[in-house]
Structure 1
Amino acid sequence: MLKFIGSGSAFHTARGNTSAFVKTNNSLLLIDSGGTVFHRLQELNLFDGLEHLYIVITHTHPDHVGSLGEVIFYSYYILNHRPTIFFPRKELLEVFLTSIGVTPDMYHLNSNDRISINDKNIGDFRIIFIPVSHVDTIPAYGFTIELGGQVFYYSGDSNDISNTIIEKLKSGQIYSIYQDTCGLDYEGNNHLSLRRLCDIIPKELREKVFCMHLDKHITENEIYEHGFHVVEHVINNSF
């Protein structure tokens, strides 16, 4: 299971920017690095003793990359380590990082759609990036991650779930889904409303869906009442 240091939408600051992680000994796999993430990484002492840092980026909206520069700077200057970043659009991320003063010698960038890593602490993990429907202005990706013998789907920001992912959830090929879910429900929404999530996920599968990236127009009780889960925040460094 992924652990979360934030689960809010861009404007739901009380929940913090949505970001998940896996940490084993001195290795950290981080998913997205929005504006509030660096601060939370410090609060939770997730940098302590860190020797291997991997960062998965789903897209380049500020609530997903707003503190990416700080994370890279801290890793490079304080930890004396170059983090590895996973994102399929190499030039887009390089231009963004260069524009905020992060030079290519400070990080490694893996822009493959399919990634296989063997980390001495985390073990083997495999990531497959999947283009998702979010906005027209920038590319956005979800991904499947195989970790600890199980496969999870992480939507990033998306207003839909593909039939392929649903079928794999039904067949057991995917263990659980982490899905961008909101209360606002209108035509052209860039995020997936709870109503539409209910239309997409059969009742017997809802216990396998964890809602994240929540806006101010939805409550945890509403989500639980429909049979889904809400991702839980790590509140201290006891993980």
Structure 2
Amino acid sequence: MLKFFGRGAGFADEHNGAYFTIGSKMILMDCPLITFFRLKKEGIAHFYITSSDQVDIIPKTAVEQIEINKSQKAVSELIIAITHTHSDHIGGLGLTIHYASFIWGIPVTVIAPSEEVRDNLGYMLEKLEGCAKSAYRLVTAEEYIAENRDGWLKAAIPTTHVPNLEGKCFGYNLKVEGKNVVYTGDTCTLEPFLPYIIEETVLYTECSAYNTDVHIFVEKLLDYSDFFRDNSVEVFLMHLDDIDAIKERIAETDFELAPLA
């Protein structure tokens, strides 16, 4: 399942960013600075190896070979799925592309949830970050799904977050380790995701200790407790603005904090 480089909200030291691996591909959910820092400091192969418990995804022989030869490229492709363009979600994107090109020698695919977000990201990466076009490929989620039959990406789900990014905030429906996964990104409501939350779904949802118009208040998430329980949904909370307050509030529930890598 997903592991997190950080699970903090916009003003946290470690912003929300997650990853999982499929074969030799590493998939990043957003790319804040903490994601770049962790990958650079600990090495991209480290996180591939620590996912070796995903035995149905990563062949044991492949993991053993990596342990024998740490210089071998464990990851053949880095795929980065972007939910929206707030800086706490894409702050490390340009750096990661540069580093993957110059140091790791790994191709990067950036997935934008829509054409409009793709155009925004394209301008940023080319005109502002100065990333060479040869260093990355930028596609929409729809394009990626059409051309890739590995099946991990099922859909980009439009949602509502902040007025200034109206129509440009998304979550994702994924398939990881054979399980249905819903990843909300930043959102003020769970409603757009409910059709995708089927039985035995693993839900990674943002959560706020405060009742605002731009994030999901923890009490509103708790209102779905019966629905989650009746459908055997596993709930992991991310993008946390007050971890202690949220941890205290969910202490007597089945909710868990998103697991850190």
Q: Same fold (TM over 0.5)?
A: yes
Give a deviation string over 1:121-169, Cα, whole Å, max 9, x none: xx54223101111012121110101233221000000111126x33543
Aligned residue in 2 for 1:7: 7
- Give the match for residue 17 of structure 1: 15
1:84 aligns with 2:109: yes
Q: 2:257 aligns with which of 230, 233, 238?
A: 230
Question: What is the CA distance between 1:114 and its match in structure 2?
Answer: 6.3
Give 1:39's match in structure 2, choosing from 37, 41, 45. Answer: 37
Task: Tell me the SS of whatever aligns to 1:153.
Answer: strand
Q: Select 2:124's aligned residue among 83, 96, 99.
A: 96
- Name the one with the larger helix percent: 2
* Aligned counterparts of 2:173 and 2:36: Cα–Cα separation in 1: 24
2:135 paired with 1:111: no
Find the counterpart in structure 1 of residue 91 from structure 2. Answer: 66
TM-score by length of 1: 0.84
Deviation at 1:232, TM superposition (A): 1.3
Q: Distance in 2 between matches of 1:222 and 1:52?
A: 39
Task: State the secondary structure of the residue aligned to 1:166.
Answer: helix
Letter in 2 for 1:97: L
Q: Equivalent of 2:82, from 57, 80, 88?
A: 57
Contact 1:166 1:201 in 2 (8 A): no
Describe how 1:213-228 pairs up with structure 2 within 5 A.
213-216=239-242, 218-228=245-255
Query: Residue 209 of structure 1 is aligned with which of 230, 235, 250?
Result: 235
Aligned partners of 1:82 and 1:107 also within 8 Å: yes
Match of 2:174 among 115, 132, 145: 145
When residues 220 and 44 of structure 1 are mapped into structure 2, their CA distance, relative to the original with a 3 A threshold, is farther
Which amino acid in the other structure matches residue 133 of structure 1? T
Residue identity opposite 2:91 in structure 1:
G
Give the aligned CA root-mean-square deviation in angstroms. Answer: 2.2
Specify the alignment match of 2:60 in structure 1: none
**Residues 26 and 214 (structure 1), Cα distance of their counterparts in 2 relative to 1, 3 Å cut:** same
Please state how far the C-alpha of 1:10 moved relative to its aligned partner.
1.3
C-alpha distance in structure 1 between counterparts of 2:234 and 2:210, whole Å: 22
**8 Å CA contact retained: 1:114, 1:126:** no
| Contact map agreement 2:3 2:260 (CA 8 A) in 1 | yes
Aligned residue number for residue 206 of structure 2: 180
**Alpha-carbon distance in structure 2 between the residues aligned to 1:80 and 1:114:** 24
1:193 equivalent in alignment to 2:220 = no
TM-superposition CA deviations, 1:166-211 (whole Å, max 9, x none): 3543x41x6111001010113x2x1101011112342625861110
Instruction: Please report how far the alpha carbon of residue 36 of structure 1 lies from its aligned counterpart in structure 2 after TM superposition.
Output: 1.9
Q: Could you say what secondary structure the match of 1:36 adopts?
A: helix
Q: Which runs of no fewer than 5 residues in structure 1 stay unpaired? A: 235-239
Instruction: Give the length in aligned residue pairs.
Output: 223
Distance in 2 between the 1:143 and 1:151 partners?
Answer: 11
Moved more, 216-225 or 176-185: 216-225
Q: Which runs of 5+ in 2 are unaligned?
A: 47-72
Q: CA deviation at 1:44?
A: 3.2
Normalization by structure 2: what TM-score?
A: 0.78
Q: Among residues 126, 142, 153, which one is paired with 2:153 in the alignment?
A: 126
**Comparing 174-183 with 196-205, which one deviates more in the overlay?**
196-205
